[in-house]
Amino acid sequence: MVRLELWQIDGVTIDLEDRDAKVRAIHRIDGTEIIVSFRVTEKQMKGSPAALRQRIELLAADRILSLASFLDV
Give the confidence band of 4 by pLDDT, cuts at 50, 70, 90.
Answer: low
Helices (H) and strands (E) in the chain, counts: 2, 3
Share of the chain above pLDDT 70, in %: 90
Q: Tens digits of per-residue pLDDT, 32-67?
A: 899 999 999 989 888 899 999 999 999 998 888 888
Q: What domain range includes position 33?
A: 3-71
- Predicted local confidence at residue 33, as pLDDT: 92
Query: In which element (H, E) is residue 32 found?
Result: none
Between 68 and 10, where is the model more confident?
A: 10
- Predicted local confidence at residue 1, as pLDDT: 43
Helix (H, G, I), strand (E, B) or coil at 72: coil
Provide the domain count of the chain: 1
Helix (H, G, I), strand (E, B) or coil at 38: strand
- Look over the chain and give the mean of its residue pLDDT values, rounded to a whole number: 86
